[in-house]
Structure formats: C-alpha cells, structure tokens
Amino acid sequence: MTSIYAFLILSLLGLMTLTGCNSEVSRPQQHSQQKTAAPAASRQSVSAQLSLTEALQQGAADSVVQQLLEQGAELNQPNQDKITPFMMLAASRSPQLLQLALEKGGDATLTVDYQRQTLDVAGFVKAVYGL
C-alpha cells in the first residue's frame, strides 16, 4: 500500500510541475519554529535557483543538478506554481541527490495543497526513500 501511495504522490507532483497547477504551499501548523527567508537573496543564489528549477523541469543530468546544489541553489523558494525546487527533487530524482538537498537546507516540512488534498513532502520522502 505504501508503494502505491508513493507512486501516486510522485505522479501527482510530477504532473503538477509539468502542467503548472494552481496550488498552495504551506507549512504545517504544528511546527512551533517558523523559519524566515533571507531578506534579499544574492544574485548568485537567484541565478542558481532559476537554473535549478529549469534543470529539474527539463530533466537535466544528475551531475548538473548536483553541481547546482553544491553552488548553493535555493531549494525552498516556491515558483509561480507554488512548487519548490526541493519538491521537484523529491518527485523526480535519486535518493543521493535528495539526501544532498536535505544537507543543503531543503525543507521537508513544506506541504502542497492541491485540489483539497495536502501532499506532505516529508511523508513522501520517507515513504519512497526511507530518509
């Protein structure tokens, strides 16, 4: 049953990323600590974020994605569809890249509200990758 759940979430996140859905990203309310974004991202970070988002959407090689992660690409900033690069990584990449993204600050507490269902990225990551 867990593998079916994981497959459905993976498919839905992939579809949402490719089709540009109207979704909402939110943090679970039970978390008492609220992370704050940096007031202004550096030009390199924004450039790396755009490159990471584009690389993930275009199916770039894992080596390209790894290089962008190591350069400090922003992982938690939602795009116009409210999907973060970390969510895209969770939906489409290897466990090694996902682990690197977690080490580089990927926020697995984010959720996506899509058509009355909340997709829990942390639950998805645990179900699929056991991280």
pLDDT at 98: 86
pLDDT at 69: 93
pLDDT at 66: 92
Task: State how far the Cα of 33 lies from the Cα of 48, in Å rounded to an integer.
Answer: 27
pLDDT average per 10 residues of sequence, the chain (131 residues): 48 47 47 40 49 86 91 87 83 83 88 63 65 55
- Chain-centre distance of CA 52, in angstroms? 11
Kindly report the number of other CB atoms within 10 A of residue 16's CB atom: 22
Kindly report the number of other CB atoms within 10 A of residue 10's CB atom: 16
What the chain holds in terms of domains, given with CATH numbers, is 2-27+42-129 (1.25.40)
Three state DSSP letters for 80-102: CCCCCHHHHHHHHCCHHHHHHHH
Strand, coil or helix: what is 119?
strand
Q: What is the DSSP letter of 125?
A: H
